[in-house]
Structures are given as structure tokens and as C-alpha cells.
Amino acid sequence: MTSALMPNYGTPELEFDHGQGSYLYSSDGTRYLDFAMGIAVNSLGHCHPRLIAALTKQANKLWHTSNLYRISEAERLASTLVANTFADRVFFCNSGTEAVECGFKLIRRFNHAQDRHQRKRIIGMTNAFHGRTHAALAAAANPSHSAGFLVGDNGFDQAVFGDLDSLEALISAETAGVILEPIQGEGGIRVVDRDYLKAVKELCAQHDLLLMFDEVQCGVGRTGTLYAYQQLGVTPDILASAKGLGGGFPIGACLATEVVAATMTAGSHGSTFGGNPLAMAVANAVLAELTTPGFLPQVQQRSAYFRAGLQTLVDQHPELLKGISGLGLMIGLQCEIPAAELITRLQQEAMLVVKAGGNSIRILPALNVSEEELDEALTIIAKILIKWQLKI
């Protein structure tokens, strides 16, 4: 039967019926070890009891009122984010690309509010991904995503990720800000160099530019700190968050300093669904879990354990695997063999991971993954590598 869905996702066949913790189950009962987690979304695995309790409690009480009215769950979530980050203010929306979009608007609005009307251009990075709105496409300038969609350059330039000279060369009297992912996700799990990041911050300070981090994928505990910037030694003015914040419920959040956020005066920006009580209740439960003492150190421990196991596999199979990248439980496996084929074979062995750029795979387990589940993953990967070598 021809699908009534638009063809933009292709025609995936694999479908799941239910999930529990680190596992997904297809309707024929096959159990899959899920190390994709909806591309870093199900931060606490599938059907976490605390999230179910928060969602059902809220669902029985109130779903939606609109931002015409006060939403105390949103105020609570914003306060938790502010208490645990650089930010003073938060705007809630429904997705990563909306959070990024809000950040771009803040950069332009901030300059507009100071009568610096010529300052509208924003510098993004090569190999980046910020989502699918026009502005996000223009910032990343990846032709495979943007072809046919954009008119002009939409006010964005691209510096080479990691190359300070290329960034400096692009700064002009029209530049308003810089956006980058501290760890490029879609681009292949590339961690930004710390010295480069510090130099970017200095350059921004020198030219009075706003610095924005896109932590849609690498944020919310994924790297072992609540946000990745907290272990990279550089603080942004604006930060986009989403994915793991809702643990599977759609949400986005744009975090900013007071001076930047103050330019978003009443009526200047908004969202019908952003900050709705259901999303807020679930995200409050996610953050309550992540900020429980010991949770994030455990992410770091599990990461070290898993990466040591992966490194052994890389050492055993240098002709198949090039190396490991990433931070915490945002892990890239750089491949010598075609990554897409390795992913297919892993799926055949009932393990799910995600493709990333540069012939790599993304391994994104739940943040509360157990050591046994990590061992299970290592066993599956080892088995496939041996079969590959034996050509069976």
C-alpha cells in the first residue's frame, strides 16, 4: 500500500510496539538493545516510572491553557535550568530547531535593541546541524538539507569548525553572533577543541558578538555534566536545548543571560504549545532525576567503562575501526568499513545505533544504562566484527 505520509523519511520497515528501559520490542516480540534512544531523546530510557507518573498525573489534571495564563510548572522548570546553568532566563518551545530559531532571533534582537541595525549576520560552522527551519538550514549550509529551500544566504556565514583564522576572516561590521555545537552530532561526534573554543569566546568578546551554543543533542546530561559547556571551560550567552530534556516528550528550551533575554519584550516572540503543562511536568521529572546527587557522576563512570571496552575492540580490529570520539555517553565510533553496513548488521543482531557524518556511527545509550547492558552491546559489536573479518 502506498503511504499517505510524505516521502521525506523514506520507507522504514522496522516498527516497535513498546519499550522498557534500554530495550525496544517489535510486534513479533523481538527485543532490541536500544543505543540510539530516539537520537539522544529518551534520556532515561523507555517508559521510566518517574516520567510516566509525572505525565499521567499532569494528564489527569490539565493539558493546555496557553501562555496567556501563568504556567507554574514552566516557571519551576525555568528556575531549575537557571539554577544549574549560566542562564538567567528561559523560553520554552517544542523542538530543537525552534530553540535554535529563538537563539537566532535573540542575537538579532539584542543588536536591534541597541540600534546596531547593520548587525544581523550570524556565523555558523561547517559540518554543523541545527535543524530544519529556514534559519537553521542557512546556518549549517549543508546542501543535502538545504537544496531548493533557501532564498539568498539568509544572513549566515560559515567558518571552518575548529579553524580560528577562518572565523576571524568572516567577522565584519555586520556580524552579530556566532553559533556552534560544542560537540557536533550529525556531523560525526566531533568534540570542539577547548583552546579553540576559548579563542572563539575571546574573539566574540573583542568584537562584541554574542556566542550561542547548540546543545540540542549534547546537552541534558548526555556528556556527564548537565550541559557540555560546563566541562569545556567556556560559557555562552545563549544556549539551545531540547531532545533529552523531555525524555521523549516534545520540548525545546532557549536559555540566555538577563541582558540578552531582556530584549524579548512582551509580544516579541511566542509559541502556542511552548511551555505547555504536559511537557513541563515531564521535563521537571527528567531534571529531578538528572540532578539527583550521583546521577551525572554515574554517567561519567559508565562512559569510562564503555569506552574502555570499545577501545579494546578498536585495538583488536584496526582495519575495521579507526577510533572513538565524543564525551560521556555521546559516543562516536569512527569506522574504516562502511558505517551504514555496520549499522545494518548491528540491527540484524537486534542492536540499534545511528549513522553520523564522516563514516561514523553514533552510540547514544540511555543515561541510566546498566553495566550489563553496556557489556551486552560490546558483545554484539565484537561478534559482528569477528564475523566481518571472517567474511561470514
Ligand X SMILES: Cc1ncc(COP(=O)(O)O)c(C=O)c1O
Query: Residue 45 or 96: which CB sits closer to ligand X?
Result: 96
As a whole number of angstroms, the distance between CA 240 and CA 215 comes to: 6
C-alpha cell at 363: 552510540
Query: Binding marks (x or -) toward ligand X, 119..148, rule CB under 6 A?
Result: ----------xxx-----------------
Other beta carbons within 10 Å of 205? 10
As a whole number of angstroms, the distance between CA 300 and CA 316 comes to: 24
Name the residue type at position 101. E
Among the listed residues 181, 237, 289, 373, the single contact to ligand X using CB under 6 A = 181
Query: Residue 185 or 224: which CB sits closer to ligand X?
Result: 185
Query: Binding marks (x or -) toward ligand X, 141..180, rule CB under 6 A?
Result: ----------------------------------------
CB 209 within 8 A of CB 381: no
Query: Residue 332 or 374: which CB sits closer to ligand X?
Result: 332
Query: Residue 183 or 321: which CB sits closer to ligand X?
Result: 183
As a whole number of angstroms, the distance between CA 27 and CA 249 comes to: 22
Q: Tell me if 274 contacts ligand X by CB under 6 A.
A: no
Query: Residue 96 or 332: which CB sits closer to ligand X?
Result: 96
Site for ligand X, residues 224 to 263, rule: CB under 6 A: 242
> Which residues have C-beta within 8 Å of that of residue 320, sequence separation ≥ 6?
335, 336, 337, 385, 388, 389
Segment lying near ligand X (by CB under 6 A), choices 25-33, 181-189, 314-322, 345-353 = 181-189
Name the residue type at position 344. T
In whole angstroms, how close is the CB of 245 to ligand X at the nearest point?
Answer: 10
In whole angstroms, how close is the CB of 215 to ligand X at the nearest point?
Answer: 7
Among the listed residues 36, 55, 74, 100, the single contact to ligand X using CB under 6 A = 100
3-state secondary structure of 122: strand
> Which residues have C-beta within 8 Å of that of residue 171, sequence separation ≥ 6?
123, 203, 207, 209
In whole angstroms, how close is the CB of 217 to ligand X at the nearest point?
Answer: 4
DSSP class per residue in 298-347 = HHHHHHHHHHHHHHHHHHH-TTTEEEEEEETTEEEEEESS-HHHHHHHHH
Query: Residue 116 or 355: which CB sits closer to ligand X?
Result: 355
In whole angstroms, how close is the CB of 214 to ligand X at the nearest point?
Answer: 5
Query: Binding marks (x or -) toward ligand X, 21..40, rule CB under 6 A?
Result: ------------------x-
In whole angstroms, how close is the CB of 387 to ligand X at the nearest point?
Answer: 31
Query: Residue 231 or 370: which CB sits closer to ligand X?
Result: 231
Query: Residue 171 or 333: which CB sits closer to ligand X?
Result: 333
Q: Please report, for the chain, how many H helices and E strands are present, in that order.
A: 13, 17
Among the listed residues 22, 127, 142, 217, the single contact to ligand X using CB under 6 A = 217
As a whole number of angstroms, the distance between CA 243 and CA 117 comes to: 33
In whole angstroms, how close is the CB of 205 to ligand X at the nearest point?
Answer: 24
Site for ligand X, residues 331 to 360, rule: CB under 6 A: none
Sheet with 16-20, side-by-side order of all strands: 16-20, 23-26, 31-34, 351-352
Segment lying near ligand X (by CB under 6 A), choices 96-104, 163-171, 288-296, 321-329 = 96-104
C-alpha cell at 44: 532515561
- Nearest Cα neighbor of 295 from 218, 370, 221 is 221
Among the listed residues 73, 214, 237, 373, the single contact to ligand X using CB under 6 A = 214
Residues that bind ligand X (CB under 6 A): 39, 95-97, 100, 129-131, 181, 185-186, 214, 216-217, 242
